[in-house]
């Protein structure tokens, strides 16, 4: 299959590429590196990248920015960061990607653990993760042409713990390579409308 990995240069994206590349043609996409540049917050950038790629069999999104701050300091503008980037960025990858994905193809989005196991400072991430997962379940009901959609909700990634440890005390880190197996399950499997939890 031809698999587009958006966010391929990140910790999680690199692990997904390493898992899938032995078996598939991988197109690496990210804001500033890879086979082509793609900014998921800009629909014209998404469309331009897909036009360069042409048709593909699967898209994996391992990207998305949210704000971590105390609820008392959160504002509408700060919540908009996650809504515009991690939520609508991934939704727009699906909406535009429908035109380019082959019949029977799939989309795999990324959420996390905070919608079911919240932490201090994490209300933006929890809200966005829940919204992405709800979108996945609802979109699966209506996608045409045998298209599938799932999300992967990993716990805190072990390789990111040097930066995130103060936020995730007591959480058992998930190695990126183990999380990548859930993406392979989504891309290479048959299920749709699933949230694959990796904890």
Which CATH number does the domain housing residue 129 bear?
Answer: 3.40.50.720
Q: What is the pLDDT of residues 124-154, one digit of tens each?
A: 999 999 999 999 999 999 999 999 999 999 9
CB 40 within 8 A of CB 91: no
Q: How far apart, in whole angstroms, are the C-alpha atoms of residue 64 and residue 140?
A: 21
Position 92 scores a pLDDT of 98
- pLDDT tier for residue 80 given thresholds of 50, 70 and 90: very high
Mean pLDDT, the chain, as a whole number? 97
Say what the pTM is. 0.97
Q: Which residues have CB under 8 Å from 87's CB, separation 6+?
A: 64, 128, 131, 132, 135
Domain that includes residue 36, residue range = 2-198
- pLDDT tier for residue 56 given thresholds of 50, 70 and 90: very high
Q: What is the pLDDT of residues 84-120, one digit of tens each?
A: 999 999 999 999 999 999 999 999 999 999 999 999 9
Which burial class, exposed, middle or buried, applies to 54 when counting CB atoms under 10 A from its CB (0-12, 13-18, 19+)?
exposed
- pLDDT tier for residue 166 given thresholds of 50, 70 and 90: very high
28: which strand partners? 5
Q: How many domains does the chain have?
A: 1
């Amino acid at each position: 299959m031809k698999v587009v990995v958006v966010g391929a240069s990140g910790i999680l994206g690199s692990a997904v590429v390493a898992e899938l590349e032995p078996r598939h043609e991988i197109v690496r996409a990210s804001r500033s590196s890879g086979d082509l540049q793609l900014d998921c917050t800009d629909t014209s950038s998404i469309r331009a990248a897909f036009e360069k790629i042409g048709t593909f069999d699967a898209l994996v999104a391992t990207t998305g920015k949210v704000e971590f701050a105390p609820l008392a300091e959160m504002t509408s503008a700060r919540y908009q960061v996650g809504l515009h980037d991690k939520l609508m960025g991934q939704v727009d990858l699906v909406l535009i990607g429908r035109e380019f994905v082959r019949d029977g193809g799939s989309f795999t989005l990324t959420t996390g653990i905070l919608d079911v196991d919240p932490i201090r400072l994490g209300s933006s991430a929890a809200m966005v993760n829940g919204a992405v997962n709800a979108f996945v379940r609802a979109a699966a009901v209506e996608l045409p042409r045998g298209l599938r959609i799932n999300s992967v909700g990993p716990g805190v990634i072990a390789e990111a713990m040097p930066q995130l440890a103060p936020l995730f005390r007591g959480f058992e880190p998930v190695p990126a390579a183990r999380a990548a197996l859930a993406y392979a399950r989504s891309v290479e499997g048959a299920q749709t409308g699933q949230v694959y939890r990796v904890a």
